[in-house]
Amino acid sequence: MLTLWDLLPTRRKARPPDGRSPSPSAGAVRRRRAAPRDASNSRYDAMTRRMLAAYGVRVRKWRSSMSGVAWQVTYEDGTVSRLIESPRPRGPVSCAIFLHEIGHHAIGFGTYRPRCLEEYHAWRFAIEQMEAQGLNVTARVRGRMDASLRYAVEKARRRGLKALPVELAPYCAGAVTERA
C-alpha cells in the first residue's frame, strides 16, 4: 500500500565525482556563531542579575532596539509586578538604557512631578550606578542622556508645562525655571 509520502519526490544531493560530501546549497540556513564571551560581558551579565534581583524587576522582553520602557501592574490581591523592556546590556549605551529603566522602579513611579523630572532622576540613577559599579560612562552615554532629557522637556512644554524644575534648566533654552 502506498502512502502520500511515497508519492513525493525525494531530494537527494548528488555527490561530486570525487566522492566528497556535497557543499551546502546557496539557500541553506546559516546559523550565526555566538560572540565569544569576555570579561566585560560577564560583568554586564552579573550587574544585570544583581539589579533585577535588588529591585524585584522582571524583563518582559529584551529589545533589539536601543529603547526601553518600565511599568508596573498592581493586581486585585495587592501584589505588584515590576516589568521592563530594554536592550540586553552588552555595552555602555545599552547598559545605561537598562539601568535607566531599572531606575524608574528604584525611584518609584509618580515620586517626581512633572514626568520629565522623573526621567531626569532615572537617568541620574543610571549614571550613578554605572560609576559605582566601575562601568564605562562614555560620551555616547552622556549624549544619549542629554538627547533624552531634551526630548522629555520639549514634550512637557508642548503639553503645557508651566514651570520647569531647576534640575532640567540645562536641557531647555529660554524656559522659566521653578525656584527650589
Q: pLDDT for 128-176, tens place per residue?
A: 999 999 999 999 999 999 999 999 999 999 999 999 999 999 998 655 5
Q: For residue 179, what pLDDT is reported?
A: 52
Predicted TM-score of the model (pTM): 0.76
- State what percent of residues in the chain have pLDDT above 90: 72
CA atoms within 13 A of residue 159's CA, in its CB half-sphere = 10
Q: What is the pLDDT of residues 63-117, one digit of tens each?
A: 999 999 999 999 999 999 999 999 999 999 999 999 999 999 999 999 999 999 9
